[in-house]
Structure 1
Amino acid sequence: MKKIKIFAMLAAALLSIAGFMSCTKDEEKADTTALEALLVEAKGLLANATAELYPQDAINTFRTTVNAVDASLKKGGLSQATVTNLMAQLQAAIDSFKASAYGDINPANLTMEVTFDAASSGSFKTTGAHTWDVVPAGGPAEVFGADASAAPTYVAGKVGKAAHFTKGSHFKVTGFDPASLEGKQLSISVWVNPDKVYANNYIISYNYWESWKFQVQDGSKPFLTLFGDNCVDMDNETDNSAPANTWTHLAVSVDLTAKTVDFYVNGQLTKAWTDKVSGTIQHVDNGSLLIGACFTIQTALTFDWFTPSVDGWGCFYGKLDELKVYNIALSAGQVAAIYAAEK
């Protein structure tokens, strides 16, 4: 926001300069060669600027600056002092606009990606830095009885194909490297389209509350549990963030060193938690990584409090698409760029 305000100030200054600084008949004609070359550079930068690369407000303000300089040159009659001033301000606008660009994400930081586009039936591989096996599974008979679902199905998604989950259907990720899912930073990005508002709409779970899990909670709020130095539950405190029967982009960015957790909905920051998390994501021997479920029935049966219940079983009802897990804390610009590229 601060950078965008700077752009606006530069644009306003340029518009005022064009109106009152001109040369008289006795003044030597100004040399505009360098300014014209810089304007060509600025126009080229603007021509390739998209909302996937820059904030739209920054694009709009930079365009105002470029147009003001272009209009001044076309009007003519500029003094050398005006040209020098325009050069300085246009260069400053270019530098500031470049600085507003969303940061690229190193492919090595994309721990795993599941797009469902290549899936048809049977197991498939994650993409990203790791190619782990993704194995479809049905709902547990111990919970759903004869009504238990088979594996997730594939339907039209937000981008390409999506997976549809119901009555306990889910995916088990096998052969994963636990160290790649632990550490001091974590981000999750996903498109969700719930069939219903449900308190246990689990998107992805790594060892349930013993490491981390991400879900859509009651009130249709994104909800994260993470275990570092201690176990912490957090949501974005905004009801109806991910309503039923609607595609919504959700992201959460965690930095245990900075002790921050940021929630995003459709590319916009909706809640920033501070001093909530610390330490390192907890490791669990023989852990599980599940998509569309909170834990396996085998794990659930080890809990002394567990009673099989359809309403109490943690699983996703609805569609998921473009699921990504990162080993860094994504910036606001990076989240916005992901959303803009996939929306």
Structure 2
Amino acid sequence: MMHVHQPVDLGISDNVIKLFQLKNGNTVAGRRIEFVKRDTTGPNPELVKRLAQELIVREKVSILVGPDFTPNVLAIAPLVTEAKVPTIITGAATQGIVARSPYYARTFFSVPQPVRPLAEWAYKNGMKKPFVVVADFAPGHDTEATFIKTFSDLGGKVAGTARVPVRSPEFSSYMQRIKDTQPDAVFAFFPIGELVPQFLKAYTDAGLNNGKIRLIGTGDMSDESLIDAAGDAALGIVTAGVYSSAHDSALNKQFVADYAAQYGKTPRVAAGGIAVWDAMRLIYDGLAAQGQGRFDPDKFMAFAKGRSFESPRGPLAIDKNTGDVTQNVYIRRVERRDGVLQNIEFETFKAVLAK
């Protein structure tokens, strides 16, 4: 259950699933694994409730994957709880949503997970007066609050804040507000999509991308799905994220090579796609642990919660009590390598909790 565009592109996710089955087969413990796709169309809780009901009742699915916006995750929680359908969240980041159902687990990330490390990194690297600009919706508010609290607790003070409408914003007035506060850095968060390249262009056009003010942000600001569209405006931005296609591990290099061999080098798999890959790992391992016989959702959840394994992103663990994800957070800088814009990791915060 994903949107065909953002934040977890259904086409890329479909490719990831196909690649996983190509590498691991389509049967586990005698069970044939089949996938039924539905497009959520975006944050659309009423539609997603109907889709979930259809998948559970008519299609008789055993597991749901990918509710991709917080309103959608919240909307189907009562359904999956009543029907006892394990659901792996691969595209919603609001803190605490996994607690809405005992049948939820998350392989994506939570809002605070990358924000706290980035605030710590910013303060320790000499940024004392950042301006905070976020999209004006719930995850943006959470991001703003987390960054300000973490930064302030360390002794820093923000220069100012701005909340930008998520639909058709006029960025020029916000650029002037940033200039007026004379910050030494700008921390930005916008959801993956058209707002990110629009912001980066406005930032550059306003002359703020001049080396005097450091631009930092969440991984959404340099996501592989849009970094090419942003172009040179993205160069030098420092972000905190959980996955980069440039992550330097043997497992990731093999994953990137296998994906490129099957589907080409673009579009690249980003954090949402890797969350789907890891959801597949969780599903296959959980089914193998049950062996043959009738699928038991409670046994599956008992296995999933507490599971840890090595992912292309690095070590990943599902908390045995909450079902939420613990993982590394990487501080990265956008650089051009071999003619391609990439998120180059240079510092790691290990085993960061989702809370």
Q: TM class by shorter-chain length? A: under 0.3
TM-score by length of 2: 0.21
Larger radius of gyration: 1
**Higher helix fraction: Structure 1 or Structure 2?**
2
TM-score by length of 1: 0.22
